[in-house]
Amino acid sequence: MTAHDWYVDNRLAFATRMLEGKEESVFANHVSRCIDCRAAVAQLERDLTWLPMGVAPVPLRPGLTHDLMHGVLHQRRTRWWQWTPALAAAAALVVALAVWTETASRDRRAAERAGSAPGTAARHRGLALAILGAERVLQETVRGPGYKGGFLLFYDQDTERWNVVVHDLPPARAGEEYRLWFVTDRGLLPDRNCGRTAGGPRS
Amino acid sequence: MNGEPVAAAEPDEAGTPGWHVHRTVHAALQALPREQHFVVWLAFFQGLTQTEIAERLGIPIGTVKTRLRLAFDKLRLVLASLKDWIV
């Protein structure tokens, strides 16, 4: 048995956070240097993405779905079906993504500016590092006509916060913007501090 | 097993977002042999380490690893199919 066999043997335990503190640190250090183990662990985590759904989804209050479709999405009634997969998945993670009416042309210009800002690359690097070190990562892809985006939900140990990242969705249409909504025991509540970034929701 | 994930009996459960995924995952967990199911439950839903599970069940840590590996090999097949649900 080689030294590396121990890591191979414990990939699943690491991916499912079952190693003891010291062992986990040793493994994490190894993963940062070993391409094979990093890929294997990443694959395990992807394969097990849905396992938390073994717990029953949060029971929604009666009429919530109706309110969501006819209240929040009333502006897009003819195309609401395009959003139901994303909504269903997001709500299952206790976070619902919805669109909301607002001005768009100003937001589009702001998005263009944000995309070329010097700090953008640095923010992305920071985000990537945070995800890499996250304790739990859930992710899903959302595809539609002409786009492929998705969302990530991860816990950042350094900041002790849950983070939601929604990426690569199509630009908001004129008069619309993206917003995050939270499914709670008090119903569907908007994130009032959610940035109104046009061109797509920001992380 | 107290606290174990169970399928809630909601009258409008089919309309609950994520219910299809939950039913599929729950069924996959239920289909595991009892000893594998219990280890997965302790590991993933209770957050115990493999050492803690071994102590709790009074079995060698190698047995914990084996049961988990067998369980996740089965679960991965089912969970992989769920990737197509959203896309």
pLDDT digits (tens, 9 = 90+) for A8-63: 989 988 888 888 888 888 999 999 899 999 999 888 877 777 777 676 555 555 55
Q: 3-class DSSP state for residue A167?
A: strand
The one-letter amino acid code at A27 reads: F
Report the alpha-carbon distance of residue B43 to residue A28 in Å, rounded: 19
Mean pLDDT of B20-31: 83
Closest CA to B37 of A188, A54, A20: A54
* pLDDT at position A191 over 70: no
Q: Which long-range contacts (CB under 8 A, 24 or more apart) does A28-33 make?
A: none
Q: Please report which confidence band the pLDDT of residue B9 belongs to, taking 50, 70 and 90 as the band edges.
A: very low
Q: Does A64 touch chain B (CB under 8 A)?
A: no
Q: What is the ipTM for the molecules in this complex?
A: 0.74
Which has the minimum average pLDDT: A141-145, B48-52, B58-62?
A141-145
Q: Which residues contact A21 (CB under 8 A, 6 or more apart)?
A: none
Report the alpha-carbon distance of residue A21 to residue A190 in Å, rounded: 37
Q: Please report which confidence band the pLDDT of residue A190 belongs to, taking 50, 70 and 90 as the band edges.
A: low
Per CB-CB distance under 8 Å, the chain A contacts of B47 are 17
Please count the other Cβ atoms lying within 10 Å of the Cβ belonging to residue A167: 15
Per CB-CB distance under 8 Å, the chain B contacts of A22 are none
CA angle A147, A150, A153 (to 5 degrees): 170
Per CB-CB distance under 8 Å, the chain A contacts of B30 are none
Give the mean pLDDT of chain A: 63
Report the alpha-carbon distance of residue A65 to residue A40 in Å, rounded: 39
Closest CA to A10 of A28, A137, B45, B59: A28
Q: What pTM, to 2 d.p., does this model score?
A: 0.48
Task: Check CB contact under 8 Å for B25 and A53.
Answer: yes
- What angle separates helix B50-57 from helix B61-86, to the nearest 10 degrees? 120
CATH of domain B34-86: 1.10.10.10
Report the alpha-carbon distance of residue A69 to residue B75 in Å, rounded: 34
Task: Check CB contact under 8 Å for B72 and A87.
Answer: no
Task: Check CB contact under 8 Å for B79 and A19.
Answer: no
Token output for A203: 């992380």
Q: Please report which confidence band the pLDDT of residue B4 belongs to, taking 50, 70 and 90 as the band edges.
A: low
